[in-house]
Amino acid sequence: MKKITLFNLESSGEESYQQITPSSASAVDTLRALAIIFVVLHHLLAYGGINFPVLGEIGGVLGVQLFFLVSGFLIIQSAEKYSLPVFAIHRFFRIFPPYLAIYFTVLIARLVFGDPIGPVIRQHTPWLLLNALNLQFLHPVSVLLLDVLHVGWSLTVELGWYLLAPLVVYWSGGRLRNWLAILALGWIVSVVWVLAGQNHLLDFLYLGMFATAGVSLDAGIFREAIVTNAPPAQMAYFITGACLYRFSRPLSRLPLSILWLIAALILPFLVQWHDLLGFRPNPISAIGLSALFLWVTRVNYGDALTSWLARTSFSIYLVHVPLLRFVFEYLKPNIFFGLILALTL
C-alpha cells in the first residue's frame, strides 16, 4: 500500500493532477461574490460616507486581494490546459470588450456633462492609449488623471498575471517542490519591492512620471497607491492562489476549525497587522484570505444570489464607482436614500 504524505514534493506533473480535487464552481462563485461585496462596501464609505463596520475600512484591500487569489486559482488551470495562443485569446475577450465598452461610455458621459476631465484629456491625450490598453497603472497620468473607473490599477495588475501565468506553469515543470520555490520567490520579490518603495529606493523610476502628472510622489497616499502597490508587489497573491489549486489535495486535510481560527485572527484586524509589520502588501493578508478561501471551498456553499453576483462581478467592479460618484456627488441624496439608490442602480 502506497504511503500517503502531506506533501509529495517529488510528484511529477501527471501524478500531481491525480492528487488534486478542485473546489466546486459554486464555492468559487461564493468567493467572487464576497470579493465584490467587500469592494463595494469600502467604496460606499469612500464616496458616500456610509460606513459598514470593519469592511468600510478594509473591504477594498480584502476584496481586491481575494479577487487576486481566485484569479490565481482559476487562471493557472487555464494556463495548464490551453496552448498559449488559445489562452491569450480567452483572456483578451474576457477582459477587453467589457472594459473598453464601459470605460469609453463613462468617459464620453463625463465629457457630455461638462466634467473637468475634458481639459485634462486634451493636455494628456497620448497617455489615453495606456488606458485603452488597460495599462493605466504603468503611468501616474493614466491612473490618477484619466482612469474614470477608478479601479483600473487592479486590471493592469491582472494583465501582469496573465503574462506571468504561462511562465510559472513552464518553470514549475509540474513538480510541487518547484511550486514552493516559486511561491517563496514571489513573496521575496513582493516584500523587497514594497520595502524599497517605502524607503525611496524606487523613486528614480517614478519622479519623472509624477512630474509629468503634475503631482508630488509624496503627496497624500500616492507613494503607497502607485509605488508599493505596483504589479511586482501583487504577483505573490496570484501565485498563492495558484498554489491553493496545486496543493488542494493536501490542504484539504486541514481542519475547518483551524482555517476559521486563522481567518478570524487575521482578517478583521488587518489594519493592526499592517501596523505591526510596518508594510503592505504583506504575506499576512494572503494567509488570512487563503484560510477563508479554503474554508469556503470546503464548506462548498453557494446559492442563486452568490452565483449571480459572481457572474456579474466583473461588470459590477467596472461600473460601481462611477455609479456611486453619480449618486453621491451629483444627486447628493441623504445617506439612507443614497444607499437605496446606489444599490438599486
Question: Is residue 25 in some structural domain?
Answer: no
244-264 residue pLDDT tens: 999 999 999 999 999 999 999
How many domains, in total, are found in the chain?
A: 1
Q: Which domain holds residue 125?
A: 35-344
Q: How far apart are CA 133 and CA 152, in angstroms?
A: 11
pLDDT for residue 22: 45
Query: Closest by alpha carbon to 240, among 288, 305, 297, 171?
Result: 288
Question: Is residue 7 in some structural domain?
Answer: no
Question: Is residue 3 in some structural domain?
Answer: no
pLDDT for residue 2: 36
pTM equals 0.91
**Among all chains, which residue has been given the C-alpha cell 519591492?**
193
Question: Is residue 5 in some structural domain?
Answer: no
Question: Is residue 238 in some structural domain?
Answer: yes
Question: Is residue 17 in some structural domain?
Answer: no
* Contact call for residues 339 and 56 (beta carbons, < 8 A): no
Question: Is residue 11 in some structural domain?
Answer: no
Question: Is residue 45 in some structural domain?
Answer: yes
Cα angle 314-105-34, degrees, rounded to a multiple of 5? 20
pLDDT for residue 335: 56
304-343 residue pLDDT tens: 999 999 999 999 999 999 999 988 887 776 555 555 555 5
275-309 residue pLDDT tens: 999 999 999 999 999 999 999 999 988 889 999 99
Query: Closest by alpha carbon to 147, among 107, 92, 115?
Result: 107
Query: Closest by alpha carbon to 103, among 156, 36, 155, 149?
Result: 149
